[in-house]
Amino acid sequence: MFLELRNLHVKYGNVEALHGIDIRVDEGEIVTILGANGAGKTTTLMSISGLVKPSEGGVFFRDEPLHKLHSHEVVARGITQSPEGRRVFGTLSVLENLYLGAFTCRDKARVERTLGWIFELFPRLEERRGQLAGTLSGGEQQMLAIGRALMGDPKVLLLDEPSLGLAPILVKSIFDTVRTINQSGVTVVLVEQNARAALKLATRGYVMEVGRVVMEDSAASLLANPEVQAAYLGGG
Ligand code: ATP
């Protein structure tokens, strides 16, 4: 098994946010997690990256229990997250932000190769490599957040709302780039409000409601499902 969440429960204080979810991600897939605000999508991603710990159940990567590791050890296993809200270090340059994403890698030649690949994916970042990240546009900051996650040379990329707040033309470009990243061999777990675009890109999807998985299917079947259409795809 590649990546697997088994009976995962997460609590914030006394309040349980995830009530025992099961999700599996096969190598090479794009799996999308859909759900309304507060369904637990971000909590699910943070559980995979080790930022929150389960109260019961666990997260397994090639059968190793990730939930027993620190988050930097999870990164070292090849699992990186691009957080919601384009969290970049505003007072550092584009290049400095990118190098921070490679903190687990001591192989300098490899870091430079990865950087070259990221500049191919996002030429805009290369043009603006010396600019302070805080002065980038929203779309550019999103590219930088994804680029920084890629600097860890991940096997699994966790993307939280990459299209949030972007103009439609940039949304398409971000989704195209996610496809290219996946085709280069990176498995992707994608949390998205833009359910239609996410399902068009994904192999399979999970629908979450208040801390539970209520549906799981191939992306094509979810796109064609009348319940999903009514709840998440604007009725058609
Ligand atoms: P959104 O799309 O709005 O980001 P989401 O599906 O990602 O929502 P989560 O952010 O995972 O949902 O939140 C799941 C539940 O856990 C919510 O009820 C939320 O209020 C709660 N929650 C999230 N983070 C915390 C926290 N740090 N402390 C307490 N409760 C939290």
Task: Report if residue 236 sits inside a domain.
Answer: no
- Cβ(43) to ligand 1 under 6 A? yes
- Cβ(41) to ligand 1 under 6 A? yes
Kindly tell me if the per-residue pLDDT of 83 is higher than 80. no
Per-residue pLDDT tens over the stretch 135-158: 998 889 989 999 999 998 899 999
pLDDT band, residue 171 (cuts 50/70/90): confident
- Cβ(38) to ligand 1 under 6 A? yes
Contact 180, 103 (CB under 8 A): no
**Residue having the nearest C-alpha atom to atom 23 of ligand 1:** 43
pTM: 0.93
Give the closest residue to 42 by CA, choosing from 87, 72, 88, 94.
87
Task: Report if residue 88 sits inside a domain.
Answer: yes
Contact 15, 55 (CB under 8 A): no
Count other C-beta atoms under 10 Å from residue 113's C-beta. Answer: 12
DSSP three-state, residue 7? strand
Q: Which of the pair, 206 or 165, is modelled with greater confidence? A: 206
- Cβ(17) to ligand 1 under 6 A? yes
Q: The complex's ipTM?
A: 0.91
> Residue 59's domain spans which residues?
1-231
- pLDDT of amino acid 152: 86
Residues 6+ apart with CB under 8 A from 198: 32, 34, 190, 192, 205
Task: Report if residue 99 sits inside a domain.
Answer: yes
- pLDDT of amino acid 34: 95
Q: Which of 3-17, 55-69, 75-89, 135-149 has the lowest mean pLDDT?
A: 75-89
CATH number where 111 lies: 3.40.50.300
Mean pLDDT of 54-78: 95
Number of domains in the chain: 1
- Cβ(85) to ligand 1 under 6 A? no
Q: Ligand 1: distance of its center to the CA of 182 in Å?
A: 27
Contact 223, 191 (CB under 8 A): no
- pLDDT of amino acid 85: 67
Residues 121, 127, 132: CA angle, nearest 5 degrees: 105
